């Protein structure tokens, strides 16, 4: 199973610089995909931010949300996040030199807990930390 970071899901469902690359990767991917259930909240937050900053109209945000929901229903296993996973994410965040933000640390902790074969991300810091913690980064 490959663990998918929310940055990839946002690029898959909206028009961003890496969207074409993400669509190409997603179309060719044959492995099972998973992400923490937290990605639902994080994706919704990204849609709200994109609307507030004028990057998306409400209609485009709703369309992206519907596409995201289809992906979750058909191609993406949503993993539960246990209290221990939050604790692991907190410990990872406390490592100042790692440079991880809270959400990314939680994704990485979830990938480790569920023994993901790889971490698919557009975030260089997250990819670097995944590699450091022996989760193969899949950088698109």
Give the per-residue pLDDT at 28.
95
Do residues 68 and 9 lie in contact, with contact meaning Cβ atoms separated by under 8 Å?
yes
Cα-flanking dihedrals φ and ψ of residue 38, to 5°?
-55, -25
**What percent of the chain stands above pLDDT 90?**
95
Do residues 31 and 117 lie in contact, with contact meaning Cβ atoms separated by under 8 Å?
yes
- Domains and their CATH numbers in the chain: 2-139 (3.40.50.1010)
What does the pLDDT look like over 39-69, one tens digit per residue? 999 999 999 999 999 999 999 999 999 999 9
More confident residue, 97 or 118: 118
Q: Does 97 have pLDDT greater than 90? A: no
Q: Count the alpha carbons within 13 Å of 129 in the hemisphere toward its beta carbon.
A: 24
Quote the distance between the C-alpha of residue 21 and its chain's center: 15
Cα–Cα distance between 18 and 31 in angstroms, integer? Answer: 21
Which one, of 127, 87, 95, lies nearest residue 2 by Cα? 127
Tokens of 122: 């557009």
Tokens of 62: 């709703």
Give the per-residue pLDDT at 134.
94
Give the per-residue pLDDT at 140.
83
């Amino acid at each position: 199973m490959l663990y998918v970071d929310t940055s990839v899901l946002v690029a898959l469902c909206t028009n961003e610089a890496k969207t074409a690359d993400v669509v190409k990767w997603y179309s060719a991917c044959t492995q099972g995909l998973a992400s923490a259930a937290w990605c639902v909240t994080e994706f919704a937050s990204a849609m709200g931010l994109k609307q507030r900053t004028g990057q998306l109209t409400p209609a485009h945000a709703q369309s992206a949300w519907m596409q995201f929901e289809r992906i979750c229903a058909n191609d993406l296993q949503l993993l539960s996040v246990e209290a221990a996973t939050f604790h692991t994410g907190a410990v990872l965040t406390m490592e100042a030199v790692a440079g991880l933000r809270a959400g990314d640390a939680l994704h990485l902790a979830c990938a480790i807990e569920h023994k993901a074969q790889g971490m698919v991300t557009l975030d260089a810091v997250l990819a670097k930390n995944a590699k450091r913690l022996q989760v193969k980064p899949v950088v698109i």
